[in-house]
Each structure stands twice: as C-alpha cells, then as structure tokens.
Amino acid sequence: MCFENFTAIPFPLPPCGGVVYVFFFRRPGVEKETIFYVGQTHRFLGRMEDYRRAAFAASTDFKVGETIRYLREYRKCTITVKYMQGENPEQHEIAIIHRLRQPPNAIPLLNDLNGYNYQEADVDEERHRIKMFCDEILIHAAG
C-alpha cells in the first residue's frame, strides 16, 4: 500500500501549551498567499472543526467558516492555515495582528469585522457582511 498522497502531521498535535495560527487564501492562478485571519487556541484541531461547522450561534466560528466557504466555493481560492506552537499564543496573536495593521502595508483582517449577538442578528445580513469583507480583501490582494 502506498501513502505518498497522504499529508503527514506530527502526533500529538499540538502538545499542551497552545498555538497561534494564521489563515491565508490564494486566488486562482496567483502564487502569493494573503492573510485574512489570525487566531490562537489551546485546542487546535477542535478549533478547526468549529470553523468547518461555522455555527451561527458562535460569531467567530461563523465568520471564519463562512469566509472560508465563500472564498473557496464562490471565488475558487485555495485556503491554508499555518500554525506555530508556543508558550504564550495569546501574546503571539496580538503581536502578529499589531504588525499586520501597521501602515503603509496594513492588511484588512477578519479579526476587525465586528461580531454579533446571534439571538438578535439575521443570518443573511451576517453572510452579506462577510461577503463584502471577502470582496474587499480580494481587491486589496489584487492591488
């Protein structure tokens, strides 16, 4: 049996301590990856599953999951997530976001899109806000 088409990850992933992670998209036919979200967690695989599910009752999960879905399905982008294990993922997340916000090359981040109260929000309106954000970052990436 051949496993050359499999992707290898170290196990356990990640060890205790936590990770900071960065989501990127790449437009079709373009080599450059563009950052769109920075996060941190102490349960990396579970967090990725939260984004896959994109439950409306969890604002961040919905925003990230819907952004990924829109970029992949409607804009045919490739999505990747890169992570780094560390002792203080919260501090690393803050430092990365701060650096990405610095002019003159500030990057629009999904982190800056306000959350919502799921009991009062409208799912279609929230999807529209996410779509508008995605269109903005696609224009910014093309710039």
Task: Identify the pLDDT of residue 100.
Answer: 95
Task: Identify the pLDDT of residue 31.
Answer: 92
Give the separation between CA 3 and CA 67, rounded to whole angstroms: 32
- CB contact set of 84 (below 8 Å; sequence gap of 6+): 19, 20, 21, 92
Task: Identify the pLDDT of residue 86.
Answer: 82
Domains in the chain: boundaries: 19-111+119-142
Task: Identify the pLDDT of residue 2.
Answer: 72
Task: Identify the pLDDT of residue 105.
Answer: 86
Mean pLDDT, 10 residues at a time, the chain of 143 residues? 72 68 94 96 92 97 98 96 89 96 92 96 98 95 83
Yes or no: say if 111 and 38 are a contact pair by the CB < 8 Å rule. Answer: yes
